[in-house]
Structure 1
Amino acid sequence: MYKILDLSALLLYCAFIFWLSDQTKLPDHALVENQDKLDHFLAYFAMAAFAWRYFAHFSVPRHWHLVIVAAFCSIYGLSDEWHQSFVVGRESSELDWLADSLGGLCGSLSCYWYARRSAAPRSAR
């Protein structure tokens, strides 16, 4: 049951990212220089958390789990940038993909660290 819920959450989040990428123009909310790179990083950091929950249902070593989630986020980011190249008013960017990949990697590392810390015996902390 939880596997289906976690898959649904991941797919809905991916659909949301796809929908955002399909918009001709997004609202300008720049608080810092290169705000769009920060947005990409944070979006894929969150995607890594959804992906971590889903892929946790498969019995693979935790370090492979980290690689799988980071790769999933990077590949989805690459496909998203390719999709954006066809949207009028939008452009594809290697730097956006790099921000996506780094966000996915950092999110994966954070989930890995949290899962490892949660699994450690209390006396080892």
Structure 2
Amino acid sequence: MRRLRPWLPALAWAGLIFYLSSRSTLPVEPRFPYFDKVAHFSAYAILGALLAFATDRSRLPMALAVGLGVLYGASDEVHQVFVPGRSPDVLDWAADAAGVLTACLLYTRWRSRRAAARAAGADASFLRA
């Protein structure tokens, strides 16, 4: 269970995405042009951040988080072929992939800055004594 724990938030979010993709209509009406692309980007950015966290905690390469997120976005578009009233859209998948990639890049940058700050703090610790 300990190895699975970091992956649970990503799995739960992926489940929510699957549930929403299974619905013929969504509860939110488009509010502006390209609203659906922004929604796809946002939902998959959250998934990307959760996958980045899981791979980081599992000591796995960040490329795995990106790959899993992008593949899940593609599978979501294929899934919509089988949902009445829905259809796949390559631009939706592009928004999904962009969201995952952006979140993983931001997570990687945050982690490297955090590590650099810790290293700088450790180097200057003799000054505090």
Would you call these one fold, judging by a TM-score over 0.5? yes
Contact persistence 1:3–1:54 (CA under 8 A)? no
Measured after TM superposition, the shift of residue 59 of structure 1 is 2.9
Aligned residues: 120
Distance 2:59 2:9 in 1: 20
Unaligned segments of structure 2, at least 5 residues: 122-129
Correspondence 1:45 to 2:45: yes
Percent sequence identity is 32
Which of structures 1 and 2 has the bigger CA Rg? 2
Say whether the 8 Å CA contact 1:49–1:107 is kept in structure 2.
yes
User: Are residues 1:99 and 2:95 paired?
Assistant: yes
Structure 1's unaligned 5+ residue stretches are none
**What is the distance in 1 between the residues matched to 2:103 and 2:50?**
10
The one-letter amino acid of 1:35's match is F
Q: Deviations over 1:78-112 (max 9, x none)?
A: 00000011100001000000000000000111101
Amino acid across the alignment from 2:74: L
Shift of 1:47: 0.2
The root-mean-square deviation of aligned C-alpha atoms, in Å, is 1.7
Q: Are 2:7 and 1:7 aligned?
A: yes
Match of 1:16 in 2: 16
3-state SS of 2:57 partner:
coil
Q: Which amino acid in 1 is paired with 2:26?
A: L
